[in-house]
Structure 1
Amino acid sequence: MEEVRAGIDVSKDRLDVFVRPSGKAFVAANDEAGIGDLVVRLAEEGATLVVVEATGGYERPVAAALAAVGLPVAVVNPRQARDFARATGRLAKTDKLDAEILARFAEAVGPEPRPVPDEEAREFAEVLARRRQLVGMLTAEKNRLGSATAEPVKKRIEAHVRWLEKELARTDRDLDGAIGSSPTMRENEALLRSVPGVGPVLARTLLAELPELGALDRRRLAALAGVAPFNRDSGKLRGRRAVWGGRARVRAALYMAALVASRHNPAIRKFYERLLAAGKPKKVALVACMRKLLVILNAMLKHRDLWRSPHALTP
């Protein structure tokens, strides 16, 4: 059977669709009625893979609708699509051209479809994102307070800081409520937080931003989180391996957790000290600890095991 690939360029109000190899192109409104028509048309075309570009959350309704009727859908990083476009010599950029590029990307690369997070997971991720925004605003306002000299300005900043702190506390209660109302999330958070060095920020970031945890092998998961080292070799040159890409928010939370774990988690601390003794730079050793911590957490969720200290296993 002929493989039918479709690309969807998403904007706030419209969805540009391109289907290969037929070359059909059409536009649908990015609302409930438009998405419904789009799903019907792609089902009639017999689409075997639909690629959607991540667009700040505007892609979620159409991706969920496609997944709900069993159409394989892959949400890809915009940088991947642009790099592919440049590699094929397509430098112009319009919504229709972007949809065609996504369809060609689906045809040439065949990204793996992944499950779309359910409504509960999406709501949890939004609350967590709001918490990050509040922490960022609170940090910025406190920095401004330190440099403010005019008394009226200081009073207004202090009032805003108090409001942000109250809003942050309310958001934390919302997160606690979301965890408490979901038996699966509650159990998964308990498993993750049983590891020394893993606090609520990392546990909840992983639950929201890395739903593949516990389902993928360690190499694919490390690449997804952006902690897998990539080779930079050419001919006789052997370049220094480096990590890049992946999910930035997961990587940032892992970094802070690995920093704590390198001091207070016996397994991670021993691993970190061994790398330093072997002459590895501290930053390289810390990234390796991030990767090891992620592998441990992945195995724990996969096998549903609580953390056990290595010291507890020795007679």
Structure 2
Amino acid sequence: MTVAAPPALDERIATPGILTRLVVRPEIGALIGAIVVFVFFSVTTDQFLSASGAATWLDDASTLGIMAVAVALLMIGGEFDLSAGVMTASTALVTAIFATKLGWNVWLALLVSLVFALAVGGFNGWLVMKTGLPSFIVTLGTFLALQGLNLGVTKLVTGTVQVSGMRSTDGYSSAGSLFASTVDIGGTAFQVSILWWIAAAAVGAFVLLRTRFGNWIFAVGGSAVSSRAVGVPVMKTKILLFMTTAFAGWLVGSINILRFASVQANQGIGLEFQYIIAAVIGGCLLTGGFGSAVGAAIGALIFGMARQGIVFARWDSDWFMLFLGVMLLAAVLVNNAFRRKAERVRR
């Protein structure tokens, strides 16, 4: 008597293994890279693993990480913002000028700079959607305009390229405790910006994976035309993403001006590429529609560990640029491989 073979399990309802589920996650490559960098510098220098050493490289990564998360959301949505770096200086300058030169309370000055940031971000998004121009071009124009505005207004108001004197302003103490204080852990001071970085990553991940707006971000990054056809508000989504990047710029600018109590007019120039690189290392594709907020935060962590690890090892800091280039190329190759694997699993 022949025993019938059990029916084959339909692959469409089969539960993928844990390894398969890990591989399709955009941030897995960045996590592996972070572990490798951590182990490498832990072995090569004793200071790296000390409490003060950890506080240093976490601090280095924190403000970069805040911006990288916002930039990652925008890149997943299919756009770029080259004005993100200079926005951190612009908002800090607005806060400092209103507080030190006009005598406003720091909290009110922070509110004005926030409105300024959101207005610029909203304008960037609106212009990209209305004109159909690449966001690379539009935000490059914004970058140049803000750079000139920073220098021109700062020289006009102060006669120099720097605004200082924040510590003597009204409301500085309370604002500084929120944005620029330290948290003592085991006798070592850790900057509160690290907590802001963790919060940004957590909020970004929740929005992407647990909200309708997160679905819209992936949809418009994959195909704006198809998204519009199924009712996704493409213009609203992209404008909000540009405003999110501007908000992150305001947050980092606020942290910097309250921590250092002064700001240079040319501050932040060139950092926009570091934000993009951190997002790419963290799993974002340059073509949009794929990426991770947590991965971008890990990408920033790799930055912080590598930059400070090189200092601790007493190497020439120029080696960091070599590391950055290698990491970027490796990340692009790994991200493309993971995306193809994810597409095969989801079919």
State whether TM-score is above 0.5.
no
Greater relative contact order (Cα 8 A, min sep 6): structure 1 or 2? 2
More strand by share: 1
More helix by share: 2
